[in-house]
Amino acid sequence: MPANQLLDPDLQAQCMTLCATWRKVLAVPTVTQAISDLCRMLKSRCEAGATIYPQDPFRALRTLNPSDIKVVILGQDPYHGPGQAQGLAFSVPDDMARPPSLRNIFLEIDREFSDTILAAPARNDLTRWATQGVLLLNTVLTVEDGKPASHAKMGWEVVTDALIEAVATDSAPKVFMLWGNHAQAKRSLIENRGQHLILMANHPSPLSARRPPVPFLGCDHFMQANEWLLQQNRQPIDWKE
């Protein structure tokens, strides 16, 4: 059994281990119902022998309260290969091969900060970003082995939309990085809810990273985010740490 299989489909129990701020968001009746439906689905799929990733779907929430968040990066759903998914969007363990989208993210960071003496990060695990205030949130939090988007449109979007809206409603200024059409569809949950910077570009996937209308490679999002955070009297992110 893979180490990162979702061994416990009881999402309600996992929600209770989160901080009070997140629990309040997840206690809204429509979200509670969605989580209940997801529990039944996950239990059924596990009983049918499906391998489901990651072990901790709510890991992105465990490090941060909404007021601690400085930057939000939205992904779609977890990686669907053995050992990849960590519960943090775009992140994989250091001993895994670097996925193409993450490779392009690091290429862009290296380009933007080329005047520094540091090379692009050697580590694939983005926990170091999360501890600095970067919420790495997928809009769907589980997936079956070898089946991308297998848990899309099953209720996770209700849960993560509520989380995105709660983060945007919190008064602390934040940067939202929306890469690709899927992430940009969440813009309405963010606009007019606080003093935030919304940055949009194509997805870092090799299929779109260099294409118009706004190529990811060359977008300058990481530098723009840090400059804006400084203007808001918030500590910038060390993207190369």
pLDDT tens for 165-177 read 999 999 999 999 9
pTM of the predicted model as reported, rounded to 2 decimal places: 0.94
DSSP designation for 219: -
Domain boundaries of the chain, sorted by first residue = 11-232
pLDDT tens for 114-136 read 876 555 567 999 999 999 999 99
pLDDT at 1 over 90: no
Between 56-60, 120-124, 137-141, 197-201, the lowest mean confidence (pLDDT) is in: 120-124
Domain 11-232 has CATH 3.40.50.1100: no
- Beta bridge partners, 53, equal 143
Q: Compute the average pLDDT of residues 196-202.
A: 98
**Residues with catalytic roles:** 77
Query: Which residue reads 């589980």 in tokens?
Result: 142
With left for phi above 0 and alpha for psi between -120 and 50, is residue 90 left, alpha or beta?
left
Measure the CA angle with vertex 72, ends 67 and 23; round to 5°. 50
127-162 as b/e, with b when 16 or more CB fall inside 10 Å? Answer: bbbbebbbbbbbbbbbbbbeeeebbeebbbbbbbbb
Residue type, 83: G
Query: 35: which 2 tokens?
Result: 């989580």
Residue pair 71/131 in contact by the 8 Å Cβ criterion:
no
